[in-house]
Structure 1
Amino acid sequence: MPHHTEDIRLLEELDKKHFLHPTSSIQQQQDEGPAFIFKEGRGIYLEDVKGNIVIDGMSSLWNVNVGHGREELGEVAKAQMTKLAYTSSFATFSNEPAIRLSAKLAELAPGDLCATFFTSGGSEANDTAYKLARHYWILKGEPERKKIISRTKSYHGVSMGATSATGLKPFRDFTSSLAPDFFHVDHHDPVALRDLIEAEGPETIAAFITEPVQGAGGVHIAQANYFKEVKAICDMYGILFITDEVITGFGRTGKWFGIEHNGITPDMMCFAKGVTSGYAQLGGVMLSKELHDDFKKLSTGPLLHGYTYSGHAMACAVALKNIELIEKENLVENAKLKGGGLVEGLHWLQENKKMVSKVRGLGLMAAIELSDENLKKVQIPISSSIVNEAAKRGLICRSVTFDGQDTIVLAPPLIIKKEEIEKVVLLLHDAIDVVERKK
């Protein structure tokens, strides 16, 4: 049942007055209020307080992998919270869910990644990776190795280090002072990476960090041998290779982790989002056996890094159950199969809509790029107009306009069915139709 009109108006006014939204237009919030006030989710669908039902074509923030309203996860959370919601993991204190989850992650992760440092989310995971990389080189007697290299069009989060590593310039321009020793290199050019390393001096580079597929930057997929070439360059110069699997982990690309498409094992791997499907706040960094062994061998004092909620018992219990659901329901394979159907549908759009110039995707993360130069001359990006029209028709997707792009991205829950994929494509088709007629 929808809320009463008076209740909705009150919620909208309270939102305007008290809720400062992340990555949102403050002016738009004040002028128009919240776009949706969601009250319930079931499967791939969300319902707002007005009774509108929409397909969550972005898994909210690329993270609700097992879909909304999974009672099993609520039951596990309640059981763990009733027994032991939280206890510190500082000073070697531990709890069973954190122990079992770290062991399960070692089982699932590529190669010899074996030890996990837990955080509350992806930005913290990436900041942790930078700190661990720099501390590692201190322990190895090479403290001058402190520079971090990332790729253009990359997104690594909004904490200070993660913002500095992010290759999307508007995020860096948001603040007047960035963390030092972060560098960005062309996102698809291994030669550019080698040249930057040579220019800065290999002995000053701590690590290279990359998303296996660049998500928030527009779903950019590197050419076939890019990562093997980049890993070889890092190995040649003794530079740590870190993958940011915050978006691409836990089945999103049709494998458990995105880097597995390239047959590479990173030295460190960051994760968050899909580890709990958004039902609890959790992230982490995994270390290779070699790195873990070096930390154990070389460390002489406490690891002076940690978060209050590192190894949070309830969050770890939810993650274990979430992983169990992904395994039991074969959602990694479903992402591969349904992702193929989604890309096929987007190619059909490309054939029927002149403004769709490119289609790209891997698993259940996909994008269409728009090309109509006349439409790009308008004040509001065309992708934003299409996304707004799609929302009116019952589909949430996302516009990416950084670095001169005009792109629409999709990343629905991994439980999506064939007929729901078809519905997503048709809703997007109808939204494009409306924008074309306004042309």
Structure 2
Amino acid sequence: MTQKQNVVNELTELDKKHFIHPTSNMKQLQEDGPTFIFTEGDGIYLKDVEGRKLMDSLSSLWNVNIGHGRKEIAEVAKEQMEKLAFTSTFSNWSHEPVIRLAAEIAEWTPGDLNATFFTSGGSESNDTAFKTVRHYWKIKGKPEKKKIISRKLSYHGVAMGATSATGIEQFHTFTTSIAPDFHYVDSSVEALKELITKEGADTIAAYISEPVQGSGGVNLPPEGYFQEVRKICDENDILFISDEVICGFGRIGTNFGIERFGVTPDIITMAKGVTSGYAPLGGMILSDKLHNEIIEKTEGNFWHGYTYSGHPMAAAVALKNLEIIKNENLIDHVNVMGKQMLEGFEWIKDQNEIVDNVRGIGLLGAIGLEKATKSADPIGPKVVSEALKKGLICRSVVYNGQDTLAFAPPFPITKEQMEDMITIINESIKAVK
């Protein structure tokens, strides 16, 4: 047995014994151990402990937007940690990186969304938004406005409030403690109107939606949907939260995804793309109107905060990440490569009868496989397995009879790399049909 194999075996056994994997099949992991133990990343590629090189067509978890292995990010993190690794931002304490980051984010946001509360990730960002909107209505003298409406197949995270807002059944049946006052609607204007009528607008605090649903299957909204939703929220005194954890900072070709649909929300929640995964950071961004009213009407403290709200190193990393996106014109590149990706998906559809539909916007796309509703054994996971053999990481999403292959490659992907990705996907689908 080689030294490399000894290392692989050791790490596999340690993993099985000591590491609880998130969103995973625990029994399967105990039997087989991890499929990949990654050691390096470079651009759109990952390398594992056995030396296998794979194209990362999902940016890991929709988040490594600027690509793997950017040394300038590591240098900024090192510099900040050497100077100031951590200090609290509670009460009247602050530090330069978080101040500058909050100001920089205000340059990216639409409308008057100019004030950010920082978190460690998307779940915390959405929980923060739910608590904040309920606090807002309480101090406005309307404490009965506490219900949150989200869309079926939405994903908003796995903290208690975030899980409760998520519209995917499996996340609800996992536990017995879903929070009250969360409601789910189909992705139609009529369904939203009906729910508001049924529950009463005077009991509803906010509506939350991803501009494009990610984990639920890369589902684009119906034409004109968000413009109508914005009107309905305004007419019924309901706050509009745009969950930009996946779509924010350029993923679908605009600074924030909701801008693509001509709408400005009251609140944006964000994470992933703000640091491209190089540090855990998220946030809730408030409009000036909400921010000023909360300041004016809150007596005493704003009783919400995390130890790592505004972590100095994470803030410094985020600033460098946003600088890279701007300086390298990566959002323009997203639109160019997104067009190529969608054209490639259309070509795959023409080549394969089992492909029912393709969809995409910016560098967020999906291939729908038509036999999902006709078989208890979906095709997507088999395609993913074939793609791995050919050196491509992609994701299968199987919910409510949908069988979807999801893609969100890193922003710097080249024309040649995109062609490679399309070729591997096509070959993998042909291998299992």
- TM-score category, normalised to shorter length: over 0.9
- Render the CA deviation track for 1:26-47: whole Å, top value 9, x for unaligned: 1111111101000000000000
For the pair 1:364 / 2:381, whether they are aligned, the reply is no
CA contact (8 A) 1:168 1:403 kept: no
For the pair 1:11 / 2:11, whether they are aligned, the reply is yes
Q: 1:373 to 1:261 in 2, by over 3 A?
A: closer
Secondary structure, in 3 states, of the residue corresponding to 2:251? coil
Provide the C-alpha distance between the structure 1 equivalents of 2:114 and 2:136, rounded to a whole number of angstroms.
Answer: 17
Provide the C-alpha distance between the structure 2 equivalents of 1:401 and 1:266, rounded to a whole number of angstroms.
Answer: 30
Report the counterpart of residue 297 of structure 1 in structure 2: 296
Count of residues in correspondence between the two structures:
432
- 41-50 or 170-179, which moves further after superposition? 170-179
Report the counterpart of residue 238 of structure 1 in structure 2: 237
CA contact (8 A) 2:372 2:402 kept: no
Q: Deviation of residue 372 (structure 1)?
A: 2.7
Amino acid at match of 1:412: P
Output aligned runs, 1:266-345, within 5 Å. 266-345=265-344
Amino acid at match of 2:127: D
Report the counterpart of residue 397 of structure 2 in structure 1: 400
Secondary structure, in 3 states, of the residue corresponding to 1:305? coil
CA contact (8 A) 2:281 2:314 kept: yes
- Render the CA deviation track for 1:175-206: whole Å, top value 9, x for unaligned: 1120110000002x011101101110100000
Q: Deviation of residue 219 (structure 1)?
A: 0.6
Provide the C-alpha distance between the structure 2 equivalents of 1:305 and 1:134, rounded to a whole number of angstroms.
Answer: 12
Provide the C-alpha distance between the structure 1 equivalents of 2:261 and 2:3, rounded to a whole number of angstroms.
Answer: 49
CA contact (8 A) 2:372 2:379 kept: no
- Render the CA deviation track for 1:325-355: whole Å, top value 9, x for unaligned: 0001111111111011001001100000011
Q: Deviation of residue 433 (structure 1)?
A: 1.8
Output aligned runs, 1:98-247, within 5 Å. 98-187=98-187, 189-247=188-246
CA contact (8 A) 1:366 1:409 kept: yes
Amino acid at match of 2:152: T
Provide the C-alpha distance between the structure 2 equivalents of 1:377 and 1:224, rounded to a whole number of angstroms.
Answer: 30
- 255-264 or 125-134, which moves further after superposition? 255-264
Q: Deviation of residue 373 (structure 1)?
A: 6.1
CA contact (8 A) 1:121 1:284 kept: yes
Provide the C-alpha distance between the structure 2 equivalents of 1:184 and 1:364, rounded to a whole number of angstroms.
Answer: 27
Q: 1:130 to 1:175 in 2, by over 3 A?
A: same
Provide the C-alpha distance between the structure 1 equivalents of 2:73 and 2:431, rounded to a whole number of angstroms.
Answer: 40
Amino acid at match of 1:410: F
Q: Deviation of residue 423 (structure 1)?
A: 0.5
Report the counterpart of residue 259 of structure 1 in structure 2: 258
- Render the CA deviation track for 1:128-163: whole Å, top value 9, x for unaligned: 000000000011000000000000010000001000
Provide the C-alpha distance between the structure 2 equivalents of 1:27 and 1:348, rounded to a whole number of angstroms.
Answer: 38
Amino acid at match of 2:5: T
CA contact (8 A) 1:3 1:49 kept: no
- Render the CA deviation track for 1:298-335: whole Å, top value 9, x for unaligned: 11110000000001000000000000000011111111
Aligned Cα root-mean-square deviation (Å): 1.1
Q: Deviation of residue 411 (structure 1)?
A: 0.4
Q: 1:433 to 1:194 in 2, by over 3 A?
A: same
- Render the CA deviation track for 1:260-314: whole Å, top value 9, x for unaligned: 1112111100000010000000000000010011011111110000000001000
Provide the C-alpha distance between the structure 2 equivalents of 1:398 and 1:435, rounded to a whole number of angstroms.
Answer: 16
- Render the CA deviation track for 1:95-152: whole Å, top value 9, x for unaligned: 1000000000011101110100000000000000000000000110000000000000
Provide the C-alpha distance between the structure 2 equivalents of 1:293 and 1:377, rounded to a whole number of angstroms.
Answer: 54
Query: TM-score normalized by structure 1?
Result: 0.97
Provide the C-alpha distance between the structure 2 equivalents of 1:155 and 1:412, rounded to a whole number of angstroms.
Answer: 19
CA contact (8 A) 2:121 2:281 kept: yes
CA contact (8 A) 2:47 2:53 kept: yes
Amino acid at match of 1:419: E
Q: Deviation of residue 377 (structure 1)?
A: 2.4
Provide the C-alpha distance between the structure 2 equivalents of 1:225 and 1:421, rounded to a whole number of angstroms.
Answer: 30
Amino acid at match of 2:383: I
Amino acid at match of 1:415: P
5+ residue gaps, structure 1: none
For the pair 1:391 / 2:388, whether they are aligned, the reply is yes
- Render the CA deviation track for 1:340-375: whole Å, top value 9, x for unaligned: 10010011000000111100011001000001369x
For the pair 1:409 / 2:406, whether they are aligned, the reply is yes
Provide the C-alpha distance between the structure 2 equivalents of 1:12 and 1:373, rounded to a whole number of angstroms.
Answer: 33
For the pair 1:382 / 2:379, whether they are aligned, the reply is yes
Secondary structure, in 3 states, of the residue corresponding to 1:214? coil
Provide the C-alpha distance between the structure 1 equivalents of 2:203 and 2:321, rounded to a whole number of angstroms.
Answer: 40
Provide the C-alpha distance between the structure 2 equivalents of 1:104 and 1:47, rounded to a whole number of angstroms.
Answer: 34
Q: Deviation of residue 224 (structure 1)?
A: 2.3
Report the counterpart of residue 430 of structure 1 in structure 2: 427
Secondary structure, in 3 states, of the residue corresponding to 1:250? coil
Provide the C-alpha distance between the structure 2 equivalents of 1:108 and 1:322, rounded to a whole number of angstroms.
Answer: 13
Provide the C-alpha distance between the structure 1 equivalents of 2:33 and 2:428, rounded to a whole number of angstroms.
Answer: 23
Amino acid at match of 1:396: I
Output aligned runs, 1:19-38, within 5 Å. 19-38=19-38
Amino acid at match of 1:223: P
Secondary structure, in 3 states, of the residue corresponding to 2:114? strand
Report the counterpart of residue 58 of structure 2 in structure 1: 58
Query: TM-score normalized by structure 2?
Result: 0.98
Q: Deviation of residue 378 (structure 1)?
A: 5.0
